Structures are given as structure tokens and as C-alpha cells.
Structure 1
Amino acid sequence: MLGLGTLAKKIFGTPNDRKVKSVRSVVARINELEAEFSKLSDEGLKQKTAEFQRRAQGGESLDDLLPEAFANCREGARRALGLRAFDVQLKGGIFLHQGNIAEMKTGEGKTLVATFPAYLNALAGKGVHVVTVNDYLAKRDAEWMSKVYGALGLTTGVVYPYQPDAEKKSAYRADITYATNNELGFDYLRDNMKGSIEEMSQRGHFFAIVDEVDSILIDEARTPLIISGPSQDRSDLYQKVDLLIPELVPEHFKLDEKTRNVTFTEEGNEFVERRLSEIGLLPEGQSLYDPESTTLVHHVTQGLRAHKLFTRDQQYIVRDGEVMLIDEFTGRMMRGRRLSDGLHQAIEAKEGVAIQPENVTLASVTFQNYFRLYDKLAGMTGTATTEAEEFLEIYGLGVVEVPTNRPVQRKDEHDAVYRTSREKHAGIIDCIKEANGKGQPILVGTTSIDKSEALSELLKQEGIPHNVLNARQHEQEAQIVADAGKLGAVTIATNMAGRGTDIQLGGNVEMKVMQALAADPSANPDEVRRQIEAEHADEKQKVLDAGGLFVLATERHESRRIDNQLRGRSGRQGDPGRSAFFLSLEDDLMRIFGSERLDKVLSTLGMKEGEAIVHPWVNKSLEKAQAKVEGRNFDIRKQLLKFDDVMNDQRKAIFSQRLEIMQAEDLSEIVQDMRYQVIDDVIDQYMPPRSYPDQWDTHGLHDAVLEKLGLDLPVADWAQEEGVDQEAIRERLCAQSDALMAEKAAGFGPETMRNIEKQILLQTIDAKWREHLLTLEHLRSVVGFRGYAQRDPLSEYKTEGFALFESLLNSLRQDVTQKLSQVRPLSEAEQQAMIQQLMDQQRAAAPAPAPAPAPAPVAAPAAAEPALALAGFDEADPSTWGNPARNDLCPCGSGEKFKHCHGRLA
């Protein structure tokens, strides 16, 4: 008797059946148009594309354009590749355009399917990204499908690692761009570290089609992409700065124990500047207030903090030559925790222990959050149904199973379960021998490279020739997979390997033709193809008679999807095939499943050594175990994403702010608002609301105004005037600060001032964001312990993350205001001195007219052009320049200082 659910499915069909039926009318319309488009000339196809672009960009929806665009694309592909898309491929293309995952079996032509939605969406003029799992496939698919797009009048680009910037920008400006998920994510991060719009590569995130979507959006989604700063070893700098700190006297700095902060006084600044010049850390003619001195000032400040705010055996201890922090609440050592931003290194210098360099996270993003940037996302794979819930919940992607063009004829055998792995391997070898004896090609799937090699050794002992697929070499991988369908071939592959290239029975014709032409370039391509196709047809028939491809899996994976991927390699396009899984109670999943109970069952059945149990119940039990493991992994990924979402909201806010700053012509209003907010903050701090004048800290206010606004004002005198309140003093401070900035703008010139504001804003945002990322990393690593105090770690992380972000914005306002108040145009005398210095350097660097080198002028710096003294120096090759000082002339011969030319900081 049929259950109600089964009965309903028989009458109404499954939800998937209804989705597939819903696009029948659209496919029928495309087929009706085929005759009309086949009559067009090659130029006519391109003219149709231009017409569609006008209509799309004029407001007509892409859904309305779909039948005509798909018909045009089908005709373009038929002419360019000799491939006419089947109806099921058109259906797959429609589902992709709708923003779904199209689950299509191996060999159904997913690469061609992607051209339809890519072409249609490219008509909008915003760019389409086709995402692949490796660089080889990105280049291969781009080269192959560019013939289709070219025939239709569209451009194709491919993005790959270490690509020249100009080429990369051009690739992203193309109508359709092929790239790997890694490169897209890294380019997104790199773009948001650039200093101007012109330097950015990507042009937005409109529509992406992700090939092998399960691999990219699920398997690789656990690992974030991280761009780290260079781990510079500055031990020498920390040590030199540390020697200077004990020379400071109380008049040189102000210590605020309440806020645990320490700042230099004006007297202290002068002393530090003089001493840094004397010990050679501050170049001659350079002030502590110059932008080039930022890093040095930071190190000196951190050295001061290390000496005045951190006490040994109180905030930290030294054990085994390592500085270990102490938790102020528990008094326990916090092993592995380090203070950020160079402070830990400053303490290590103070204590005379080894100074450890630190890698700084400059930017990071997870694939989950990167791909959710796209206005529309779609994906293709042979296996997605088992993860349909995750795709829908995380990415809003539905999964549609697209029927195969021909019915699947593969025979899927029940799992064979052995008691020990030794018995299992013996069974596998016997099975391979039997299939190989009749010439049946065999693909053996393993779960790791180690197990592949172990099985390879067993096959060698039996004298069975075979290939082991090396997943590290993509080109070799494609070749081995292409040969895996040949008569008598035995191929061992890890589950993750062999994607992107079909296993065709009898071997891959295209690959054979390419190899033959490469071996004999003078041969006639048509003749070579005819000969190879004739040989292939004969071999294919022999393979078909032997039963088609046999997929033999040596273990069940945690995920049913990975098992289905392997099984799907056999039985492509209606070919016969066979699949079998060999398991043992010693396999990882079987141990998780509970092999003890199964072991008792097998013993009770009186199984002899070497026998296997084969029963549908075993399959059902294993599927349930796999479903549990999949659910657990989904929960872990979901929890990770919840934590990353906190950072992602902040990342988007920072990146959009950077973009606005780069796009803006005039930032004077933004920096003015920041300055006014800083004024509000200092007034609230030193002249609290509803307080009396005798409660005001006018000395503190005077010092804060001097430090943050660069204004030495008689604040104490103002406070004694009759009727003066906080608002009056605020207005005076705003007016004085506006006057100072107007004076600076007049000195620099309006255009230069706007550029200075933009650069200071961007540099400060980047520095603060890097520091913030490190703090969030540290918070994330310790917040889990809050669970022991019955507090939700995620809620704690959200609350503290938000507070840290607010703190970032506050300190950003203060830093920008402070830097702008300190920047000043050079006086005429300083400008003349700088010009003279440049001239002297140029004279020193110029070649002497006499054969013997002329002595350098006395006024020239001692090392004006150190790279010239190097053997093998080449002006055009930076690797031969040695290590030029930042104030030296650039070795490239431009006449500019190194720091303004090739040594310019990004």
C-alpha cells in the first residue's frame, strides 16, 4: 500500500518536477526561434547582441529578453564549437539565470550551460563572473567559451594569480570574466586597500555563476581569505628605542593612570627628536611631525608605554625567555596571548629577551560573505541536493535537479562491508582484477593521498598497471582523467581530484587530437581528427561491451555529496556503468556509526574471514550516519558565519566609507565634522554638562586642545569671563580651528589641501582597521570561555565588537584631526634647503666626465646612491638595487626620492 506522501507525489509530482515543468513553455519558445536565428549571418548574431544591449540598458527586463537571447547564444555556440545545446541544457541555463543551483549530472555539459545565463546577464553591461575551482579550469573554460562570446560580439577575460595590474583591470572590464574563487576574494580585499578608484580592479558584484558550487561555497567556506602584512623583523629598532626611554625625565611626558595612557609633552617631543637624530634613527632635516616619521613616533610611544604602564610580575612575567601576560582578574598566565601593535615587542626589548616579529592581518573575508555581495548568485554542480538546506539558509539559493538528456543506465551496487581493512583491501584487489581482466576501465576513489599510495603499492605487487592522480598538478590531472575511460585503464584518485574534465569511454577525442597535432604540427588537422575518431569509435564499443566505467570507492566519506560526486563519474550521457563501495568496520565513518554493534551482528551471522555483508539496511544506516555528520558540520559552519557576520557588517561599513572618500572631490566638510566632534568630546570631558565653572578642568582642556587641534589658546582666561558657558567656548574653539585650517589651505593651495585630507583619511582608516581586525581576532579566540560564566559567547562578541567599532570611529576622528592640525607647508627657507639637497644628490649621482670617478660634493649625503656601488646594478631591475634609504634618490633614475617613487608606501 502506498503512503500518503508517495501517493501525492505520484499525482502532483515532486516540487522539483513542478519547477522543471514550469520552464517548458520558455524552452518551447526558444526552440520556435531557432529557425529564425539560424538564418542570420555571423554579423547578424552580433547585431542582435547590440540590439539586446540597447533594450536591456533601456529598461527591458532580462526575463523578457531570455528566449531571444538564449536562441542567439545557442546559434553562436553551434557555429563556434559545433555543439547544439539540448533542451535540458537550456533548462539548466534558465534556472541559473533565476538565481538557483542547477544540479546536473557529470557529462551533461555544464560548461556550455553557463554560457546562456552569462550571455543574457552580460547584456546589462555590469559584468558577469564565472567562478571555477582552479586556475587551469579558469583559463581553459575562458579560452574555450570565448569563441562563443566572440561570435556574439561580447568580450571575455580571465583572472589568474600574479597577473599584471593592467591585464587584470582589462579582464574585469570584459563582459564575462572567468576566475577562481580565491582570486576574486583576494582582489576584493586588495581593491579595498588601494588609494584611488583608478587603482581598483573589480567593478562591482552583479552576477556570479559558481561552477562546482558545493566545493566552493561549502567545503572551502570554513577557511577565511586573509591578506597579511609582511612580518618585518624590527628587533634593532625596538632595541635602539628602548635605550632612549630611560633618559626621559617626568617633564618629558604625561602619565594618565586612569585611562592607562601616556603622551609626550612639547619638551619631551623636542628631546626625543634631538636624541633620535643623534643616534641616526631620524634622518637629517626630518621632523617628528613629518608623515615619514609616523612609524618611528609610534615605536617611541609604545616604548614609553612599555616602561611606564607595564610592570614586571604585575601585568606580565618573564618565563623561559618569553614575556607572558597575566590575566588581571584571575592572576593566571595567558599563554599564547600577545599585545598588539608592537607593544609586546616593546616589552620584550625592555626585558632583553628575543623579540618576535608579528604578522599583521591587513584584511580578511570568508567566501560566504564575499559571495553574498553579489546582487544575484547561481551555481552548478553534479551534487547539491544533500546540502539544499544550507544553500537556502546561508545564500538564499534554491537547488533544482535538472533531468539528464538520456536516462542513467549505471548500476549502483549495495555497499560491501568487511570486518577489517585488510580483508577489505583483499576484496578490492580481487574486484579490480576481475573487472580489469575483461578490459573494463576502473576509477578507484580514495579519501586521502596516503590511502591512494597504499592501494597503489598493493596493485604494483599484483602487477596491475595503473595511474595515481596527483591533484597538485592540474594539467596532469586533466590528462589522467581524460585517459581514465580507455580500455583496461585503472585510475586511483582522491575524491577531490579529477573535476572539470569528463571521463569519456574509449578516451577523450579532443585531448588525443591536441596531442597528435602537438607531436606533428605539419599534419592535416581534419585528417588527424577523422583517423582518431575512427579509432575511438572502435575502442569505445569495446569499453561499452565490457560494461562501461566501473567506479570503485574504497571508503564512505562523511558527506553523501562527495560519494555521489565519485559515483556520478560513471554513466555519463546514458552510457552504461557500475559503482560499488567497499567498507570495513575500521573505517572512520564506521567507527563513528558504531561498529561494535555491527561487529556482533556479523559474528552472529557466522561470517568467515574475507566475506562481506551486502544488504540495503546497511546502506540506509550509513546514510543516516552521514546525514548526522553533515548536520553537525552545517551547525559548525553556521556558528562560524554568525561570528563572521559581526565583522562583515563592520567591514562593509569601512569599505563603503573608503569608496566614498576616494570618489569625493572635496572632503573638507567631513574633516570639519570630525573636528567639531572632537571639540564636543574634549568639552564634555573637561567641562561636563550642568557643571559649574569652578568644576571645569581648564588646564586639561588647554592641553587637549593643544595636542588634538594644534591650538595654544587662553582657555583658562575665557572660562573666567562673565557669562561664558560650554557652548560659547565650543563656538570659539570651532572658529579658531576653522581659521587654522583655512590658513593651512591657503598655504598649501586648495587642491593640495584636499589631497592631503584624502590621503590622511585613507591612511588612518586603514591603520585603525588593521588594529581593529587584530583586536577582534583576539576577542574571538577568548570569548568562547564566557560560556563557562553562563553568558552567550556570540552575544558577548556582538556587544564587545560593536563597542570596539565605536571606539575605532572615535579614535579615527581624533587621529585625523590631530594629524591635520600638525601638517604644515614648508617655509621658503625649508623649500630652498630641500631643493639644494636634491640638486646635491643629483650631482653626486651624475656620471663623471673623466675616466676616473670625480669625488662627490661635500654637501651631498654620504649614501646618495648606494645601489650604484653594487655589482650587477641594473637601473631597470629593482632586485639589483640593494636596500636604498627612503630619502635617497630612486635608483631608477627618475630624479625623485626613493620614498616618493619605487619606495612609495601603498
Structure 2
Amino acid sequence: MFGALAKTIFGSSNDRYVKSLDKVVSKINDLEPEIEALSDEQLKAQTDKFRAQLENGDGFDAILPEAFATVREASRRVLGMRHFDVQMVGGIVLHRGEIAEMRTGEGKTLVATLAVYLNAIEGKGAHVVTVNDYLAARDAETMGRVYNFLGLSVGVIVPNLGEQARREAYAADITYGTNNEFGFDYLRDNMKHERAQMVQRPFNYALIDEVDSILIDEARTPLIISGPTEDKSDLYISIDKVVKSIDPEWYEADEKTKNITLTEDGVEEIEKLFTSEGLLETDNLYDVENTQVVHHMDQALKANIMFKRDTDYIVKDSKVVIIDEFTGRMMDGRRWSNGLHQAVEAKEGVKIEPENQTLASITFQNFFRMYPKLAGMTGTAATEAAEFWDIYKMNVVTIPTNLPIARIDEEDEFYKNTNDKFRAIAKGIRDKYEIGQPVLVGTVSIEKSELLSEFLTQEGVKHNVLNARFHEMEAHIVAQAGRLGAVTIATNMAGRGTDIQLGGNVDFLIEDQCGQMEDGPERDAAIARIKEEVAAEREKVLEAGGLFVLGTERHESRRIDNQLRGRSGRQGDPGLSRFYLCLEDDLLRIFGPDTLFSKMMNSNLADGEAIGSKWLSKAIETAQKKVEARNYDMRKQVVEYDNVMNDQRKVIYEQRAEIMDSERVDDVVLEMRQDAINAIVAESCPPGSYPEQWNVAVLKEKVEDVLGLTPPIDDWLEEEAVEPELIEERLQQQADDVMQAKMAEAEDSIWRQVEKSVLLGQLDHHWKEHLATLDSLRQVVSLRAYAQKTPINEYKQEAFGLFENMLEKIREDVTRILLTSQLRMSAPPPPVDLPELPDFLTGHIDPMFGTDNADSSSRPTGAEAILGSLAGSPRASFGSGGTNRENPYADQRVSRNAPCPCGSGNKYKHCHGAAD
């Protein structure tokens, strides 16, 4: 009570913070007449002036008022748009590394120019992160005109962009791109073998558009780069055939976790079916020998029972494409992990792509936390403010609207079943359609949008259906959702980032109708006509009540519902929003208080009758809060596990960078050799033990295997004063002599390159294997909870031990390769064109199912394939006996660009396949 009273009198902490920024805005406004008087050239020269001030020690805050005034004037001259005062407030918030929550239609894209310009002046780079490639390219082109006018360069990162083009885009003052492209480029860069091949610069400042979508929704699935494993298509198909024939009484389904559990009878029946198909090694389904079959059976059960076509995925061009549950967009290139995607492919009868192994991965949380300054903007962030602060230490600031909100948000309407609800929705839309009021309908799945489309067709209502099937046109369709009598059915937040203007979006209409026309009087006349028509139509739409936003059911996150509502009521326009719900909605059916809702609604409602109640709406909100808390826990768990890997990732990536930047790595190789020898001797001759207790046979075997030496160990043991340290010294001396002899055979520059390549190759190889081990560890460590142990603590402890083992293996393998391989010089081959991008699969991992989602359209290679050819005029090849001019692999049909089977690390066409 007292808190509410204090808030009424003094305002909330957010209100007080925003009000405190008015002083800065006043300074910006005071400078406006002075900046307006500058010529175009003088305005452009402001950038050099600000840069000089920063170099002389002035801080960003000192130049902020004049810089913002400069951007506002440049925007007015170039785009014809002048920033409002509330947009200036938003710019200050973004510059300070906070999240600006601004309503839809308040001009977030224009606000971004203020903070981005200021932070790009220094020349260290500013990244603008968007939710899709369309917005990245659109904003880079539109806002790039302002930056270019002020003398800053702009680059844009889109899929399938060449390496050199990417390098140039990152070298620009300002770079636009999606979160995926920035993240994957970071991972790819840390798989390169030369600094010159890397495309990114050190991170400086990042501004994330639709920050809630990127840092919350997509943060549940870390980015990974992966390569292929063995093909198991026949196994998937055979198991899918069995699973399709099982009786529903044989299993229990949990829709909350999407898990399937077999009953006792189900286990017996499936054992019989699998045995008859010859899929089991033993009669018992859960014997160790049948582990793989049980795993794929579980995935096939999920695929057939829990994952629905046109809801969780669609089949496009004979490929299974995942549908994003939050945006309704196709997630091209993403794959479910751990065999689940293959199980869905078997279910749908399309080509089964092989599973993949993780080569590199990082969560969005740890990726974006690498930026020294991170900011974001969105229309909905307040409900997730706690998570933004806990994970990213970013404060959410709600920016007031430029004009008061005139939208009316009506109470939810509840119906008994889906059929009644959709009939009521269709009737409500028809009523609005008849008076010309535009309607934007939000659905949660493709299936629901197409079902509603059938109801509207029966009602005689013309409409557009926008879902993942028509992703390419979503921006154009959504942009015109505010036209007179328009009815647009959109899956969740399709077209997010596109402004819905009442009467029609002028820019899109001009692009659609005048895009092919050349500049001239005819085009100018057409543009003027379009603007007049839109203005006249806008008046009619305003009379009809503005945009009506209709939600067909509540989403599990309040934020998504608020995003949908926010599409109406832009810039003080009138509007209306309403949600329709029923007992069969997923949120009520899975998370709601079933008995209470069912009893009350079934006993009090007649067929087709609706009920509206604040109490029911409050119950729905409570259910949403529960789901949000559960999803937050999932994301937090992803971060906790990745934090363990992140510490190790930093060590490996820093080590790689040091190796690439070093002229020579002799000292690293020598230290590794010493450590490897010490470990070999310590294993066979433990400290404090007697020579009679030493395992001499293992010592000889390891020395020959790792060092390629056969020293007189038996003679050494006959000496009276023999100690492990003495054996270590002698082995070290012999190994050093062998290494010196090898180095004398090659030019110094070639040998330095050889050492670096071996180091990086082994680092990549073992890191890849380590990631695979951690993936497996994470999937099983949760079982430790049954032993009253905390899984994350167990994971930390085991992961540390595995990391130590990995470092030991790297030291041993580097020593083995350099000491035992023969270096053979050959004539240089023709120059090799480096691939534009590494041939890796890229995708997200899903914490619910594992860690292995990847783009099936790419051609995979292993991490070792990056080794490529060694630099320099003479050529160096590794192998047990050098490169044989006779080709023993001629009949194996090896791809010319694949790594040579001999293990040299070179491409086949530059090794044994050179003569083919």
C-alpha cells in the first residue's frame, strides 16, 4: 500500500531515471540551431572533430550532446526524419549499455543511429545485431545513408558471403548482421590456422535489435559447428517402422517435457517386435549391447508422438525444416540433435542426413558477454528484466511513448472447445471486415492458421495467411496489414521489425509499385499518387477504429502476447486487442488448473457461449509466469554448463592465438616434449618406488611409441644410482638430438611452419574430441542426482579432469608426430585458392535433446581438414614414411578436395592424388 502511494507521488525508479536524462536532452536541443546552420561538408567534418576529441582524452559523455545533435540533423537531411526527444532518451540509454524498451512504432531503428554513431567514431567497430537477414540488409541500406553522410563506413554480414567480403564488412566502422552470423564467424575464426584468414576484429560495442528475441528466446539453444559421423539411415528406418506399429497403451506421454515412457507391457511387446526385425543383440531390451537401439527408439517415439508436422516442423523440398516456436519462422539450417532430426526424417520418409559431431560451440550468453559494451532495444523486455540483469548485467529502461497510447485492451474471451472458439473468431473478424477495420490475427502454429483460414473462407472474408510457408514475403504482407478491410493471419510474430501503418506502408507500396520505374517525372507522379491514396485510406481506417489485433490463444510467455498487442496503437493511433481462449489450448491443457477450469466452464457454458473474467485472465497469467520461470531455469542451466566449457574454451582459443601470432614455437614444443617424457616416466616409475617395482615393459613400449626411441633401458636399470630423474634426463637428451637432426634437414622457415601446423592441428583434433566427451558427460551427469549429488558440481569436477587429460594427450601426440614422422621435401604444387568459408555444418543445439544441430545443406569436413597446405616454396608432408609417388588410394574414389587418406593433412589433390 505504502509502496503504491510512494510510486504515485514520486514516480517509479524507471520514471525518475528517465526524467534525469532530460538535462542531457536539453543540451542536445540547445545545440540544434548551431548544427542546423552547418553546411553538408561542415556536418560531415564533425566526425573527424569528435575523433580528435576522443584521442585527446575527452570521454564519450563529453561529446554526446553534440554528436547526437549532429546525427539528428544528418537524419533530417538524408532521410527526412527528425528524432523526437524520447528517441534521444532512448539513444542515451543505448549508449550507456542498457536495454531500451520502446513501444512498437516508436522508431527504434532510427534511435539506434544515435548510439551506434557515437560508439563507432573511435574506429574500433560497432556491431548492430538483428533477428533476420532481411532486417540486417534493410537497416544497413537505409540507416547506412546517414552514417555514410557523416563519413563512416557500413558493412553487412549475410549468409553465403565470401571470406574476403566478410573481412571487409567487419573492417567497416559499423557492421550489420544476425546473431547467428556473428556467432558462427567467431567460432570459424577460432578454427583458422593463420591470423590473415580470420575475418573479425576484437569486439568493441554491440547493439542488439529485438534483444528479447535474441538474448532470451534464442539463448536456449547454443550455436555449434559440427562435422559428420557414420551413416545409420537403415537403422532409423527400421526402428521407425516398429514404432509406428506400437499401441498407445504401451507408453505414457509427458507433454511438458516431451518425454515418452514405456509401460511394462510396452517393453515386452517392443522386445518381441525388435527381435522379430533382428534389431536386438540380446533378448533383453535394456542390456548394454542394445543401448544404441534403445536410444534411437526413444527418439523415434518422440518424433512420432510428440512432434507434429506443420506445428513443430514442415516438410519443404523433401527436407524437414524446424519451425521456431516463438516466431513461427522456418529455421533453415537448424537441426534437432542426438538423432531426433533423423528420426523425424525417417517418420516423414525423406532423405536421412547423417548425425553430426560437435567441433566448436558457444552459447549466445557467453558470446555476447565478450563485448566490452552491450546494449539492446525491443518493445517488450520488462517481464524479463531480472534475467537480463542476472545473466548480462543489463538494466531495462522503459522509454515513454512520443504520444499517449490510445489502444483498448479487452478482456480475454473463454470458450469450451476449439471449434466454438474459431467460429466466434471468424464471426468477430467478419464483423470488423464489414466495417473496414483491419485485423491482424496471431496464431501459434501453421496448423491453427490454416484451420482459421478455412473458417474465414466459409464466412466469405478475404484474407492473407502468413506463416513459415511464405517466409519470403512476410515483411511485405505484414507491412500492409493496416490497410482498409485487410485481414492478415500471422504465425506468432511473423514480420516482426516491420512497421504496420494505418492505411498502408508508403515505403513498401512505393517499392512494390515503382521499384522497376526509372527516376523521373512519371515515377515522382506515381509516388505522389500513392501518398495521397494512403493518406485518404488512413482517415477511413481511423474512423473504423484502427488496427484490431486478435490472439487465437495465449502464448506460454507473456512477452510474446505483449509483442502481438503492441502491433496496434502505433504512435498514438487508436486500436483494439483481444485474446480468444478455450480449454483445449496448450497452455491451459498442459499448465493450467485443469479441474477448476473444466468444472466451471463445462457446467456453466452452453455450446458456443463465451465467458470473460478478470479472475480467469489472472489465472492464465499465473500459468504463464510458471512456464516463464521454467524456461528461465532451462536457459540458466544452459549457461551454467557452458560457463564450465567457456573457461576451457578461453584457454584453448588464447593458446591458438598465441601460436598463430608467434614467429616460432620451439619453446612450446620443447616444453611439451619435456612434460610428455616426465609423464611417461612417472607412469611406469612412480616417485618413491624401488626399481624392482617399476613397470619396465610399459616404459619401453611408451618410449618407442611416443618418442620413436629404443634406448638401452635395461642397461640403465643395472646402474646403482638409477633414479627416475636420470632416466628422464637421458630420454630428453636423446629426443633433443633426434629433433635437432630433423630440424637440420629442413629450412628454418619451413620447420617453423611445420611445428605451428602440427600444434594447431592437434589442438583442434583433441578439442573436438573433448567437446564430444563433454556432450556425453552432460547427458548422463543428471543421473548423479539420484546419489544425492549436485549434477552441475559433478560436471565441473569431471570436466576439469577431462580437460587435464586432453592437455596431456595433446602434449603426447605433438611429441610423437614431430619425433616419429618423416619430413620429405617436394616441388611446390600450383597455387591453391583458399575456400571462401570452412565447409562445416552450423546450427543450434537444444538443451532438451542434446548438442548437435547443424545445416544439412553444407558439405562437412573434420577439424583436421583446416590444416590445408603448408606455406613456403618447398612442400612438407607428414606420414609414417613420407609421400609415396605411387598412389595406393587410386581405386578408392577419394574426393580431390578431401583430406588425403595417408594422414598428411594435405588435400588429396595435392598429395597422393596429384598425379591423377
User: TM-score of the superposition, structure 1-length normalised?
Assistant: 0.79
Q: Which residue matches 2:332? A: none
Rate the CA distance shift 1:746–1:332 in 2: closer, same or farther, 3 A.
closer
Q: Pick closer, same or farther for the CA change 1:698–1:422 going to 2, 3 Å.
A: closer
CA contact (8 A) 1:699 1:716 kept: no
Letter in 2 for 1:579: S
Name which of 312, 334, 352 aligns with 2:291. 334
What is the letter of the counterpart of residue 421 of structure 2?
K
- Figure out how many residues of one structure are paired with residues of the other and give that number: 760
Distance 1:836 1:737, change over 3 A: closer
Which residue, out of 818, 822, 825, partners 2:823?
Answer: 825
Give the counterpart letter for 1:166 in structure 2: Q
1:729 shift after superposition: 3.0
Which residue is equivalent to 2:421? Answer: 424
Deviation at 1:615, TM superposition (A): 2.5
SS in 1 for 2:489: strand
Which whole-Å CA distance do the structure 1 matches of 2:648 and 2:294 have between them? 24
Q: What are the Cα deviations for residues 760-791 of structure 1, in whole angstroms up to 9, with x where unaligned?
A: 01000111011111111111122222222222
1:365 is aligned to 362
Partner of 1:795: 793
Give the Å deviation of 1:422: 2.0
- Alignment gaps of 5+ in structure 1: 236-316, 340-355, 839-858, 871-880, 889-894
Asked if residue 456 in structure 1 is aligned to residue 453 in structure 2, the reply is yes
Change (3 A) 1:225 1:887: closer
Q: Which letter does structure 1 place at the counterpart of 2:577? A: S
Corresponding residue of 2:344:
none
Higher RCO, 1 vs 2 (CA within 8 Å, ≥6 residues apart): 2
| Greater C-alpha Rg | 1
Q: 1:183 to 1:331 in 2, by over 3 A?
A: closer
Q: Does 1:403 align with 2:400?
A: yes
1:899 aligns to what? 910
8 Å Cα contact 2:223-2:364 kept in structure 1: yes
- Deviation for aligned residue 1:37: 1.7
Q: Note the C-alpha offset of 1:807.
A: 0.5
2:672 aligns to what SS in structure 1? Answer: helix
User: Which residue, out of 458, 462, 465, partners 2:462?
Assistant: 465
- Contact 1:125 / 1:175 at 8 angstroms: preserved in 2? yes
The residue number in structure 1 matching 2:120 is 122
Q: CA deviation at 1:473?
A: 4.3
Look up the match of 2:219. 221
- Deviations 1:278-332, CA, capped at 9 Å, x for gaps: xxxxxxxxxxxxxxxxxxxxxxxxxxxxxxxxxxxxxxx99966687999x9967
| Aligned residue number for residue 273 of structure 1 | none
- Cα drift, residue 537 of structure 1: 1.2
- Please tell me whether residue 621 in structure 1 is matched to residue 619 in structure 2: yes
Alignment-mate amino acid for residue 461 of structure 1: Q
On the 8 A contact 2:442/2:493 being kept in 1, the answer is no
CA distance in 2, matches of 1:533, 1:43: 32
Mapped pair 1:630 → 2:628: yes
- Does the CA contact (< 8 Å) of 1:326 and 1:333 recur in 2? no
- Secondary structure (helix, strand or coil) at the match of 2:407 reads strand
Tell me the residue number matched to 2:578.
580
Aligned residue among 147, 150, 153 for 2:151: 153
| Matching of residues 52-67 of structure 1 within 5 Å | 52-67=50-65
2:279, 2:293 within 8 Å by CA — same for their partners in 1? no
Identify the match of residue 190 of structure 2 among 192, 214, 225.
192
Q: Distance in 2 between matches of 1:229 and 1:551?
A: 44
1:735 corresponds to which of 733, 747, 750: 733
1:507 to 504, 508, 522: 504
Distance verdict in 2 for CA 1:835–1:659, change over 3 Å: closer
Following the alignment from structure 2 to structure 1, what is the Cα–Cα distance between the partners of residues 543 and 37?
Answer: 42
Structure 1 residue 887, shift from structure 2 partner:
7.6
What is the distance in 2 between the residues matched to 1:820 and 1:672? 11
- Of 680, 704, 707 in structure 2, the residue corresponding to residue 706 of structure 1 is 704
Per-residue CA deviations over 1:402-422 (Å, capped at 9, x if unaligned) read: 000001000111111122222
Out of 487, 490, 496, the position equivalent to 1:490 is 487
Q: Does 1:111 align with 2:68?
A: no
In the alignment, residue 456 of structure 1 is paired with which amino acid?
A: S
582 and 103 in structure 1: CA distance in 2 versus 1, 3 angstrom threshold: same
Report the residue type matching 1:334 in the other structure: T
State, as a whole percentage, how many aligned pairs show the same letter: 52
CA separation of 1:597 and 1:154: change in aligned 2, threshold 3 A: same
Q: 1:863 to 1:549 in 2, by over 3 A?
A: same
Partner of 1:766: 764
2:663 paired residue number: 665
Alpha-carbon distance in structure 2 between the residues aligned to 1:540 and 1:902: 69
Distance 1:742 1:152, change over 3 A: same
Question: Do the aligned partners of residues 134 and 837 (structure 1) sit closer, same or farther apart at CA in structure 2, a change above 3 Å counting?
Answer: closer
Moved more, 699-708 or 180-189: 699-708
Q: CA RMSD in A?
A: 3.3
Which moved further from structure 2: 69-78 or 548-557? 69-78
Contact 1:505–1:540 under 8 Å retained in 2: yes
The correspondence for 2:809, drawn from 783, 808, 811, is: 811
Residue type of the alignment partner of 2:526: V
Partner of 2:724: 726
Q: Please say if residues 897 and 907 of structure 2, whose CA atoms lie closer than 8 Å, have aligned partners that are also in contact.
A: no
- Matches of 1:50 and 1:594, distance apart in 2: 63
Q: 1:132 — aligned with what? A: 130
| Superposed displacement of residue 691, structure 1 | 2.7
Which amino acid in the other structure matches residue 458 of structure 2?
Q
- 1:860 is displaced (CA, Å) by 9.3
* Structure 2 residue matching 1:556: 3-state secondary structure: coil
CA drift at 1:587: 1.6
Deviations 1:356-398 (A, max 9, x none): 9763221122222222222221111111111111111111111
Alpha-carbon separation, structure 2, partners of 1:901 and 1:15: 71
Note if 1:594 corresponds to 2:593.
Answer: yes
Which runs of at least 4 in structure 1 moved beyond 4 Å after TM superposition? Answer: 231-235, 317-327, 329-333, 336-339, 472-475, 834-838, 859-867, 881-888, 900-904
1:390 maps onto 2:387 in alignment = yes
Confirm or deny: 8 A CA contact 2:548 2:568 kept in the other structure.
yes
SS of structure 1 residue aligned to 2:207: strand
Structure-to-structure mapping, 1:162-241, within 5 angstroms: 162-231=160-229
Aligned-pair CA distance for 1:578: 0.7
One-letter identity of the residue aligned with 2:640: K
Aligned to 1:684: 682
Compute the TM-score of the two structures, normalised by the length of structure 2.
Answer: 0.78
The answer for unaligned runs of 5 or more in structure 2 is: 234-273, 297-352, 831-883
- CA offset at residue 581 of structure 1? 1.1
* 8 Å contact from structure 1 (residues 708, 818) kept in 2: yes
Q: How far does residue 123 in structure 1 lie from its aligned partner after superposition?
A: 1.8
In structure 2, the partner of 1:538 is 536
For 1:223, the aligned partner's letter is T
> Compared with structure 1, are the counterparts of its residues 325 and 227 closer, same or farther at alpha carbon in structure 2 (3 Å cutoff)?
farther
**In 2, Cα distance between equivalents of 1:18 and 1:902:** 72
The aligned amino acid for 1:652 is K
Q: Residue type matched to 1:427 in 2?
A: A
